[in-house]
Structure 1
């Protein structure tokens, strides 16, 4: 039988969400899945009240508040457990700023069924459009010296080596084969690391053209001399991104081609963040400290913010 929305439990992981934007995120998702759960990662109360007391959460959407910030890896594993508890076949992971276009889940389910007929499926993911730049992000296959980036043909899908976590539709059987998400990475590269293990286990990762999602990346969009742009992040986030990427270089499931092109890419990013993105010195120190800690295998939540 074809898979339906009733087979899907979606879990939206939140932390200090935009209280107006989160309502639309939840409304769009709830209309397309069998059940939707909000897993709040210890958002602090403001003026004595949690954000959920001010936002109008759609009827039927369940809120679960975690007493501490679990990080994304642990939150995704909890999402999978919630889906199993409810007897679902799929878990859908959502960020707090990801807006599903109409029929997104239907398209993902249709392609999931088609691909499952060919072999074991790891995940299917939507095409996402950046909410600020309006650009449609390409799908990726790893290569050297550069990754190969491309778009799925209209109505079709493509084999990929990586899918972002938000919007991904994952059969629960895939998590049994590839294992759960790495909780030690805490936030950045959690989806990348899982995709590495899924591909190493022989699972298909599939990007779907007609499943669309609006998604915002980066903390700020900065225009560069000459007319280009780049997404930048806070120093603390740069620390985590660098730490976890360097850690992945040393793992057995990580494709060697990815590592070979990621090393110079990280050096290039260090140069750009230092040259064009304020606060320049803090950015450089954060990335260098992250590289050191990643090489040493440090894991867990980020350290206290440093100047």
Structure 2
């Protein structure tokens, strides 16, 4: 492995994982020397799925139940930094790492024309193989906010801006840490030369008018945190380009919720409770 790769640890967040997580960890181990798997569902089924991982190169970190995305990622990142790694590369279990991805991220990180912050890959829909419009390009380009999965962090950056905000629990955790990096003078980069296959939620196929669409089928709890945390992050950082992009995405997602998904009343109720609590939220 190149020197930068040797100094990089992988982190994978697991929540009721399927056998697919073993394949993803194996792919990660072709690019990094060690992977920390954070088990956010410490039940017997999850432990059995994770038991077959390479004990010499994989450390499973059992959590006390579902501590959330932010705290889960932080547990893995702290373990990696405490073990002496200078870079941490994080994933959730809905993403598949591509060959050569880490090298592409480190090449972008080596840019000298900007103060590089978080670096992450472009995204491709795992269900269809389509590359999203905003993820088409060449080389790397500045972006306000990257999704957490596939993102590469340096020790120097984390020492300055801190880890994820655990009070957010899930959703907009990635926006918050990205925007904190930007506020500290860093430039976050999206790397178009490598693609992360990613699924949002259940990715259940459905028919909407004449089109085939994919439904996330997020729970009411997830809609609550999405709504609440969007308000919190807007209050912290203001409605920049990230917010305009997010509103467009959210509008499309809610059309599918209202037309195609089950349990709509509970999801709508959770959305409005999240708005209320986001407005009432008090920073510690």
- Superposition TM-score tier, normalisation by shorter sequence: 0.7 to 0.9
Alpha-carbon distance between aligned partners in 2 of 1:286 and 1:43, rounded to the nearest angstrom: 27
Match of 2:188 in 1: 205
1:171, CA displacement in angstroms?
A: 0.8
SS at match of 1:32: coil
SS at match of 1:101: coil
Residues 46-95 of structure 1, C-alpha deviations (whole Å, 9 max, x = no match): 4xx72346x52135212121123221111222222122212111111111
1:275, CA displacement in angstroms?
A: 3.0
Structure 2 residue ranges without an equivalent (≥5): none
1:12, CA displacement in angstroms?
A: 0.7
Does the CA contact (< 8 Å) of 1:165 and 1:191 recur in 2? yes
1:197, CA displacement in angstroms?
A: 1.1
Q: 1:15 to 1:89 in 2, by over 3 A?
A: same
After TM superposition, list the pairs within 5 Å mapping 1:290-301 onto structure 2.
290-297=274-281
Structure 1 residue ranges without an equivalent (≥5): 139-148, 300-307
Does the CA contact (< 8 Å) of 1:76 and 1:93 recur in 2? yes
1:86 maps onto 2:101 in alignment: no
Match of 2:35 in 1: 36
| Greater Cα offset, 61-70 or 90-99 | 61-70
1:242 maps onto 2:227 in alignment: yes
Does the CA contact (< 8 Å) of 1:21 and 1:97 recur in 2? no
SS at match of 2:209: coil
Match of 1:73 in 2: 70
1:162 maps onto 2:145 in alignment: yes
Match of 1:277 in 2: 261
Does the CA contact (< 8 Å) of 2:36 and 2:80 recur in 1? no
> What is the count of residue pairs matched by the alignment?
279
Does the CA contact (< 8 Å) of 1:72 and 1:186 recur in 2? yes
Match of 1:98 in 2: 95
Residues 147-201 of structure 1, C-alpha deviations (whole Å, 9 max, x = no match): xx35221xx1111112111111111111122222110010111001111111111
Q: Over aligned residues, Cα RMSD in angstroms?
A: 2.4
Match of 2:107 in 1: 110
| Greater Cα offset, 26-35 or 266-275 | 266-275
1:129 maps onto 2:129 in alignment: no
Q: 1:86 to 1:165 in 2, by over 3 A?
A: same
SS at match of 1:207: strand
Does the CA contact (< 8 Å) of 1:125 and 1:206 recur in 2? yes
1:151 maps onto 2:150 in alignment: no
Instruction: Flag the structure with higher helix content.
Output: 2
Does the CA contact (< 8 Å) of 1:80 and 1:172 recur in 2? no
Does the CA contact (< 8 Å) of 1:224 and 1:230 recur in 2? no
Q: 1:219 to 1:248 in 2, by over 3 A?
A: same
Does the CA contact (< 8 Å) of 1:16 and 1:51 recur in 2? no
Match of 1:177 in 2: 160
Match of 1:145 in 2: none
Does the CA contact (< 8 Å) of 2:215 and 2:261 recur in 1? no
